[in-house]
Amino acid sequence: MVGRTGAPNRDARTRCRRAPAIGVGANHRGSGYAGEVPRSEGRLGRLLLLAAVVSALASCMAAEAPSFDPTGPCAVDGKAPGVYPELEARLPTTYRGEAPAMVDSGRNCSAEALGPLAEIGFQEVRFAGATWTFGAERALVLAVFNTSGLEVADVAEFYEQSARTTPRMEILEEVEPTIAGRRGWRLDAKRVERLQTVVAWPAADSDVVNVVVSNDLPETRIQEAIDAFGDR
């Protein structure tokens, strides 16, 4: 069953909590969208694991399993190119004129992979991600997450909790920017001197959340990544 079952009242949960800002240039922690945001080895948080640097792209990089079957009830976590073409079609096909080094999709349903999403009632989350690498540990992932009832606050909860439990990860700031006319969420962090950023906002269609995860990229490049989604 996709989505959540018996989830607690959404108003009873903290939505997009803000961490105290440490100021411009302060350390961040994380590796999802900005290099390494929430790193979480078995969770939806193997998210990125870009060359062992970006490790948290919201489940976008769940480990492949030989018995992974993308149809029917979800029995194991898994991902591979072309698994969910309709989700992959939601991803930008180029960034700064270049095609991604990798595009794949999959789904997670284990409590370990879903992490805090399982705690609030989600039983399965599907995802698709496109990855770009630029050398010197600089990397970018553009992703989408989908399941019934999924909202930005849920994705934010996942990344924030992962970031807070990652060793040597320092959260700099959380804000709620408006992207394409929709209220989103952004986490800036730093880990081992690598700046990392995660940005999430609602897609044009319900139950889908767009995500940008960058590692050691400047602000202009992060904004270009957000803009690559257009009105999707």
Q: Report pLDDT for 148.
A: 96
Q: Please state which of the ranges 106-110, 130-134, 157-161 shows the lowest mean pLDDT.
A: 157-161
Q: Report pLDDT for 57.
A: 40
Q: Would the pLDDT of 32 be above 50? A: no
Q: Measure CA 225 to chain center.
A: 14
Cβ-Cβ contacts under 8 Å for 80 (sequence gap 6 or more): 64, 68, 104, 105, 106
What digits encode the pLDDT tens for the residues 54-73? Answer: 333 434 444 444 567 898 89
Band (191; pLDDT cuts 50, 70, 90) = confident
Q: Report pLDDT for 165.
A: 82
Q: Report pLDDT for 136.
A: 79
Q: Would the pLDDT of 135 be above 90? A: no
Q: Would the pLDDT of 124 be above 80? A: yes
SS (H, E, C) 13-73: CCCCCCCCCCCCCCCCCCCCCEECCCCCCCCCCCCCCECCCECCCCCCCCCCCCCCCCCCC
What digits encode the pLDDT tens for the residues 143-153? Answer: 999 999 999 99
Q: Report pLDDT for 177.
A: 97
What digits encode the pLDDT tens for the residues 74-105? Answer: 989 999 999 999 999 999 999 999 999 999 99
* Assigned token pair, 49: 């694991």
